[in-house]
Structure 1
Amino acid sequence: MKSRPALALVDVLAVLVFAAIGRRAHDENAQGAAFALGQIVGIALPFLAGAVLAALLIRSWRDPLALRTGIAVWLGAVVVGLALRAAVLGRLPLSFAIVATVSLAVLVLGWRGVVRGIMAVRRRRATTPA
């Protein structure tokens, strides 16, 4: 697969989507694209640090679609992200920890499932006689 490095970057996008959704959900004054990309990156930064650290440690670009890769990146994002957030804010609400853990699982593991499903369908179509 030629696009492995690009696929490895989808985790960064998944964490940014997590931050954007959270930012939008908690900003009653946000209208459309009124919230700044800088704020989203700031929110995502602790989680990105964990995801990137895990990706580097396991060399996620070698097999970005593997379940073990997704789990490692997800756990890195959650553990490091929540720890950094708690350290900076001095608190970590349990509800936020649960929502972040589940949301990041859906986003980081979910895109892999979608891509693997599409690839399986294409393989089946390619091998099925007409």
Structure 2
Amino acid sequence: MPKPAYFLDLAVVLLFAAAGRASHDLSDDVLGVLRTAWPFLAGMTLGWVFVALLPERVRSWWLEGLVVALCALVVGMLGRQLAGAGTALPFVLVATGVLVAGLVGWRAVAAAVAARRA
């Protein structure tokens, strides 16, 4: 995946963390957002490693997005659990929806734009 994709994924995860903090009336300072986002960012990065290991013949925009989203979700929830932060089912469900929609969604838009240009 190209470098801009990493930064788009980074933006999705940081916006997810910032929105979550805002919905709970927590501070929106950069360090607070990073404290919330770190386990999901670690998972996102692990997802990128897994995607890099995929054989070219099976790679697709949706598979790459799904791998990154699932890694961000699983590692993020494990990190929160280890840090003593909440992992209530409603949060897990919302996080799943937001991360999959964001990390797969922008790839769907990019694929549609690329197909239209071709």
Structure 2 length-normalised TM: 0.85
Structure 1 residue 119 corresponds to structure 2 residue 114 = yes
Q: For 1:20-35, list aligned pairs within 5 A.
A: 20-27=18-25, 35=28
C-alpha distance 4-90 of structure 1, shift in aligned 2 (>3 A)? closer
Larger radius of gyration: 1
Contact 2:50–2:67 (8 Å) recurs in 1: no
Code of the residue aligned with 1:44 in structure 2: it is A
Deviation at 1:8, TM superposition (A): 2.7
Deviation at 1:90, TM superposition (A): 5.9
Q: Where do 5+ consecutive residues of structure 2 fail to align? A: none
Q: How many residues align?
A: 115
Cα RMSD after superposing both structures: 2.3
1:65-90 CA distance string (max 9 Å, x none): 62111111001001110111112116
Over 3 Å counting, the alpha-carbon distance change for 1:117 and 1:90 in structure 2 is closer
SS in 1 for 2:87: coil
Cα deviation code 1:42-79 (max 9, x no counterpart): 1110001011012013218x989621111110010011
Query: Which of the residues 69, 85, 95 maps onto 2:80?
Result: 85
Distance in structure 2 (CA, Å) of the matches to 1:94 and 1:117: 33
SS of 2:83's equivalent?
helix
Percent sequence identity is 32
**In structure 2, what is the equivalent of residue 16 of structure 1?**
14
8 Å CA contact 1:51–1:73 kept in 2: the answer is yes
